[in-house]
Amino acid sequence: MAFDYDLDYENLNLRKHPELYKVGRGEQGVLLVEPYKSEILPYWRFKTPEIAKESAEKIYELFEEYRKDDDFVGMDMARKFIQMGHTRARRYTNYKGGRKYNEDGSIKERQIDPVKEESARIFKEYWDRIRGDEDYLKRKKAHQKVYG
């Protein structure tokens, strides 16, 4: 089921209405879903490996807190932020300044940044942990079965 971009996310608390949450693909909705965006975004950083490690650890702690609270939407949002940590750090690994395209629309030549590459690796480690978490996967399947 695709993420529903038609909801009024500015005025919607999906902790109170988890039935409206659709997992979607990848990072869909990561910067929309409240109150999770406001809870997780302040910790999302990847400039250096040290900052990325601190960020990934904190977001993973939030993932575990949401699990303890039986809050699948929070778990999935934490997963999305960790996944986005990986994908954005990879973008900055490959392209200085994170910009993939030149002004004329052509793709820039890759310039590998080993610092950002390490940041991406750190987030990927946490993302892989979540993707292999049987409890998370069971909850995801159950949420999708009931709510789409």
Instruction: From 32, 132, 20, select the one nearest 84 (Cα to Cα).
Output: 32
In a domain, 47, yes or no: yes
- Torsion, Cα 144 18 40 54, to 10 degrees, reads -50
CA distance 77 to 138: 16
Asked, for residue 129, whether it belongs to a domain, the answer is yes
Residue 12 lies in a domain: no
Q: Residue 17: inside a domain, yes or no?
A: no
Domain tally, the chain: 1
Q: 125 or 96: whose pLDDT is higher?
A: 125
Confidence band of 61 (pLDDT split at 50, 70, 90): very high
Q: Say if CB 76 and CB 36 are below 8 A apart.
A: no
How far is CA 120 from each of CA 28, 94, 135, rounded to the nearest angstrom? Answer: 19, 11, 25
Q: What is the pLDDT of residue 97?
A: 80
Report the alpha-carbon distance of residue 132 to residue 14 in Å, rounded: 25
| Residue range 70-124, pLDDT digits in tens | 999 999 999 999 999 999 999 999 888 888 898 999 988 888 889 999 999 999 9
H or E stretch at 17: none
Whether 144 has a pLDDT exceeding 70, the answer reads: yes
Say if 29 falls within a structural domain: no
Residues in the chain, total = 148
- Residue ranges making up the domain that contains 127: 36-99+106-147
